Chains A and B, each alone.
Chain A
């Protein structure tokens, strides 16, 4: 493998790189293409639909051909006489994804497609030992080789489940500083980040190794203090991948309080509804005519019993194309106190262009709050444009209002929803930068 070769595409020199024990490929540092011996590709490659390629084999200079695999999803150039495969930049990644094999460098197993088939690349080497790239993989890690990033895979390390965050393929474009390895322009790696805030797992896959790194998010103040930096750290911008959500513990606590308080409100309503008397305390009818000099009327004295509670007042009139305002006073027969209230009613109807309509109503029910027990009589004084108005007034004692627990639930719900939205917004901001944004955007964001 000492012979000099040029990239068949961009003509830059191909550099031999040993990516596994005994497996040497030739990389193009300019266009990131790579030349494999067919036998050094560990995954089955059933190539079909071969057609002449637009370039020659960098080794034998004979024309190569282009064929496809995996239902046309992968296009590979091959040289049949040399048993060589040329992968353009990114095609190795595609092969990894399609085959589900992380380390594609190595000898194919016997179970793989028939190498003697006309469509397969003939094997050149048969005695090369199989080799896995060097990998630092904790034995307790599960799911680390799941290649399906699109479905948000997880990896588990020491019982902690990490969610896939992002996969990227950074390429070295410039180098500054010193490195314990040979850094080259064009070096690339496949990075996969998994998070379980505040923890982070990163996988870096190159052609020679797969390295996992574990990290933990630190607040800027901690880092600032650790390095004894003067002043204060700069303000945080956005949400880091492994930054803990400050609302993660608070929001469930808020919702717990919500459900408890909601249960109290609904339970209180149920108890009061079950125990409420709802008894009728008064029912009477009144009538006034246009010619009446004095329209006010009073009822007999009636008794309102029990604790201070409400009165449900129903007015039912005979209004027809008229309005009325019924002024009422619930006067304590034993003291000089009164509760003064009134209701307006109107009822109009007709037919316009063949369609019947109506507006208002003849009757209405409302509530007089917090009426103490006692002996009362009702004074009514209607105003109306009708020549005759008759109406009936009925009063019920102690009628729990459904709207009270409903209003309470609304008041309880608003801050709780706000807390949930705040937590969700934080997560949305975090995942917006990932391959799995949680917004309604249809952009997968898969960088591969």
Chain B
């Protein structure tokens, strides 16, 4: 197991370093392409991936 663990530990440490280097995190972020250039002039021309969000009925 020690040999397996050595490689595993190396992989975990490398992944940790890579995540710190690139700012990786598990937050879900949609990466989109083909966004129209006109969004700045007409913000309503872009619809968010999350725009179908339904009303929240929180509160006690």
Chain A interface residues toward B at CB < 8 A: 250, 253-254, 257-258, 260-261, 264-265, 268-269, 272, 294, 296-298, 301, 307-311, 321, 323, 325, 327-329, 331-333, 336-342, 344, 346, 348, 350, 352, 357, 359-360, 366-371, 377, 379, 381, 383, 385, 398, 400-401, 404-405, 407-408, 411-412, 415-416, 419
Contact = CB atoms under 8 A, between A and B. Distances in A.
23 contacts: A253-B6, A258-B9, A261-B13, A265-B12, A268-B16, A297-B43, A309-B22, A333-B40, A341-B28, A341-B30, A342-B48, A348-B58, A348-B60, A359-B58, A359-B60, A368-B29, A369-B26, A370-B22, A379-B43, A379-B46, A404-B19, A411-B12, A416-B5
A407 B55 CA distance: 34
A368 B23 CA distance: 8
Given A323-B56, A381-B51, A369 B29 contact: yes
A344 B20 contact: no
A327 B53 contact: yes
Interface of B: 1-2, 5-6, 8-10, 12-13, 15-17, 19-37, 39-40, 43-44, 46, 48-51, 53, 55-56, 58-60
Contacts of A325: 50, 53, 56
A298 B50 CA distance: 17
B27 A368 contact: yes
Contact of A254 (B1, B21, B24, B31): B1
B1 A339 contact: no
B56 A269 contact: no
Cβ-closest 8 pairs across A and B: A310-B23, A261-B9, A309-B23, A253-B2, A296-B43, A408-B16, A327-B48, A348-B59
Contact of A296 (B1, B44, B50): B44
Contacts, number: 181
B30 to A, nearest CB: 4
B59 A346 contact: yes
Contact of B53 (A268, A338, A342, A377): A342
A264 B17 contact: yes
Given A257-B6, A309-B22, A405-B16, A250 B27 contact: no
A338 B39 CA distance: 11
Contacts of A311: 23
Contacts of B46: 296, 329, 331, 338, 379
B53 to A, nearest CB: 5
B25 A401 contact: yes
Contacts of B32: 329, 337-340
Given A272-B20, A336-B34, A379 B29 contact: no
